[in-house]
Amino acid sequence: MNAMELLASRRSVSKLKEPGPDDAVIDRVVRAALRAPDHGALRPWKVLLVRGEGRAKLGAAMEASLVRRSPSASSDEREKERSKALRAPLVVVMVAATKASPKAPAIEQLLSAGCVMHGLLLGLQAEGFGAVWKTGATVYDRAFAEALGLAASDQIVGLLYVGTAAEEPPQGARPEPSAFVIDWNG
């Protein structure tokens, strides 16, 4: 599959199962994704890999985040939040580790981390795995980031759930470029 086919066929795969990618696949994909645009060569990224028992700990941190935001959350809501970390064999926590820079403002560094995340998503698809990029209130909870050992300047870009597709994902409607592309002449 060439790069254009990969881009055109990208789909979110939310129903995932074992197996997840092995260390060799992860290494190959991360190496490729780290080629993302990076103004000033700051390398403003952290890629946390959560597998095995680590997923239960991640789930506990996700549940704690929910309880902080919604103290009256029911036991079903708490269980649902906690089990999110178990929906795939691998959960990648993508972090923008921004640094003070006269060349590259924080927004550029955040975008660079987003490019790494997109590279991971595409690379994993190219290797035959399914993945879905998720965010939500937990991702933006500062205490959740601290529970993961992240620095005060770190910002979670999203969670990438990765595994083998449990079923064929829907094609979904593809946007028509003419609705978004403007030929600007001044």
- CA dist list (Å): 85 to 34, 35, 62, 67, 116: 24, 28, 8, 16, 21
pLDDT mean across residues, the chain: 96
Query: What is the structure's pLDDT at 1?
Result: 80
Phi and psi for 105 in degrees, rounded to 5?
-65, 165
| pLDDT range class, residue 104, cuts 50, 70, 90 | very high
| pLDDT range class, residue 168, cuts 50, 70, 90 | confident
**Residue 181 within a domain:** no
**Residue 1 within a domain:** no
The structure's pTM equals 0.95
Query: What is the structure's pLDDT at 59?
Result: 98
Q: Provide the domain limits for residue 54.
A: 10-167
Q: How many domains does the chain contain in total? A: 1
pLDDT single digits (tens) 53-101: 999 999 999 999 999 999 999 999 999 999 999 999 999 999 999 999 9
**Residue 99 within a domain:** yes
**Residue 151 within a domain:** yes
Strands (E), the chain: 16-17, 45-51, 90-97, 130-134, 154-165
CATH number of the domain to which 67 belongs: 3.40.109.10
**Residue 173 within a domain:** no
- CB 120 within 8 Å of CB 33: yes
**Residue 182 within a domain:** no
pLDDT single digits (tens) 11-66: 999 999 999 999 999 999 999 999 999 999 999 999 999 999 999 999 999 999 99
The C-alpha atoms of residue 68 and residue 23 are separated, in whole angstroms, by 35
**Residue 129 within a domain:** yes
- CB 42 within 8 Å of CB 151: no
**Residue 155 within a domain:** yes
